Structure 1
């Protein structure tokens, strides 16, 4: 093997950890605390989706698919676009001193990876967006971050990932969400394994890159976190990478303008959220929807009841997290209280109507194709 080193890298050993929040925490800890040399980390994560620092998950991810498949959503400290992590991907991190000729210079870090891929028969090359391509399809994306004289350049290599799952996960459903967040650029993707001249699993691929980049065999001279390091990493993992405030609440301010049929009426909504929490909502109830004969049906709830319910919901949602469970609980409370205050319907029918109307209103506020009673997993 031809050794292609841009630095004398010290390998960071993560004890074969695959939890995405733990590995993101270790990356950040190493960036902020290991300042004596150049470090490199190669690792695999469980299935997860990782946002760039300035992104909004509503504009990047099919959240219904993520919820249904128990795929956690996390946010990293660097910018750039959304990426899919999976045991079939290999993630790389390079940590060095900050220098002006290195920031935004992805080729400085990624070209040795490109050369090593070519030695395996992969027709790898970098494009003007700093992605690594093979036959015009994206196999790797990168991002950078700097802090206190140090910087990290990291990315994901698609080795043998389920591309159908990646495609569905990153196909956005909420087209009516608007913000100034950084938007990902969709690209055609491919797996590195499909280009290899020789059969290789991801463990062998990681060993190949480790030895090719460091010039050393195995984990020789690797840095392994001690007890004090692990305590700090765990604190960072718990307080940042498992927190709703960071992973969802860090989203830029966003707006939603949409309408939905609720109990026969057309209802429009305008909503604004800041730091992931609702700052303002406004509902308007329009005329009953007419059928093909130009007639209107008998609504389950009167227009006055619906307006009162929506006014109560609007008031209660202020400063609440923009998340399904919180919204559903708030909506159910208001709908039940409004219908219970009138004797217009029999008790049994009123309960059935309350459940149906609550689901319709919740779907208007947070359009997600999954059960609103489910809670997204935080690792």
Structure 2
């Protein structure tokens, strides 16, 4: 495994561009590991409606970056007390959405530090029923990212202020507030340490899980291309916020795989536009489904026929097609 040095970059847009550049351009003969720490920022899941996930006024007043990532899942808050890790490997179907596989070495290191860490729910690492990490994945079909956050000493009050957490998510967690169900790793350590020391110990622990790591520094030409990707994509308002569609039907449900939120504009009985939001994890872009449904009569039989040849799991994870159809057009 090769460890990519991000050279102290704390700009979330540049770090996400670096991560995607490595995914799409580095050798497929190697596995890579990347660590990064971001300035105050909200990182939005690929399929989320940004304006509904954040407290826009608070974000503006406090100069908090808002950046969309390429992977699915929910919005997370980053600051200098949050360490992010990213494994970049070849894609295989057994690894996609297998959060246990790629979190196992991280959990082992946390356990060596004395934390009773374990993977819980869809994609969370918990200690004593408190979430200390959220994870997500993205696949190009050839290569994949498995990445996550580690709350080491983050400002948890800012998490509450900056994010708009939906009631459906709170209810799915047993009516617990965000602040009561998350914690910092530093709270569970017997000996205090700085995040830089924690980063070093985590890296050393991961070394033990693999062959000796080789550190890689990007060339000036590679950094130039990373900056170009940042400018073209991660600095772009359309990527980070996206459009808020005109709609006259909204249908939302929280499944075990996450929330699916549909915004549908029906005119004269036809689906004129549809946008699919949510914090689910899927391999294929939901834009393909959206385009498939446009122009279809808003009738259950017509929608069912349009979806007949579609493997719905490729877009959302483990969900029955009938359940998705019922969400699109079912009895309220």
Smaller-chain TM-score bracket: 0.5 to 0.7
The structure 2 residue matched to 1:64, chosen from 40, 45, 57, is 57
Q: State yes or no: 1:50 paired with 2:43.
A: yes
- Aligned-pair distance for 1:255? 4.8
Instruction: Name 1:16's counterpart in structure 2.
Output: 8
Which residue number corresponds to residue 108 of structure 1? 101
- Computing the radius of gyration from Cα coordinates, the structure with the larger value is 1
Rounded Cα–Cα distance in structure 2 between residues aligned with 1:114 and 1:54:
28
SS in 2 for 1:50: strand
1: CA distance, partners of 2:14 / 2:220: 15
Task: Provide the C-alpha distance between the structure 2 equivalents of 1:12 and 1:223, rounded to a whole number of angstroms.
Answer: 5
Q: 2:216 is paired with a residue of what secondary structure?
A: coil
Contact kept? 1:62, 1:172, Cα under 8 Å: no
- Unaligned 5+ segments in structure 1 are 1-8, 176-183, 258-270, 274-278, 281-379
CA–CA separation in structure 2 for the residues paired with 1:224 and 1:93: 16
Question: What is the CA deviation profile of residues 164-201 of structure 1, one whole-angstrom value per residue up to 9, with x for unaligned ones?
Answer: 1111111359x9xxxxxxxx977511000000022211
1:247 aligns with 2:231: no
SS of match in other structure, 1:223: strand
Is 2:126 aligned against 1:149?
no
Q: Alignment length, in residue pairs?
A: 242
| Structure 2 counterpart SS, 1:18 | coil
8 Å Cα contact 1:54-1:252 kept in structure 2: no
Structure 1 residue 227: deviation in Å?
1.6
Find 1:162's aligned residue among 132, 137, 155. Answer: 155
8 Å contact from structure 1 (residues 13, 222) kept in 2: yes
Provide the secondary structure at the position in 1 that maps to 2:215. coil
Q: Secondary structure at the match of 1:205?
A: helix
The answer for the alignment partner of 2:291 in structure 1 is none
Normalising by the residue count of structure 2, what TM-score does the alignment of the two structures yield?
0.68
**1:17 positional shift:** 0.6
Residue by residue over 1:198-226, the C-alpha shift from the partner in whole angstroms, topping out at 9 and shown as x without a partner, is 2211000111111111239xx96211110
Deviations 1:44-85 (A, max 9, x none): 000000000000112211111101101011000010100111
| C-alpha distance 118-230 of structure 1, shift in aligned 2 (>3 A) | same
Q: Are 1:88 and 1:160, in contact at CA under 8 Å, matched by a contact in 2?
A: yes
Distance in 1 (alpha carbons) for counterparts of 2:248 and 2:81? 36
Q: Distance in 2 between matches of 1:240 and 1:80?
A: 19
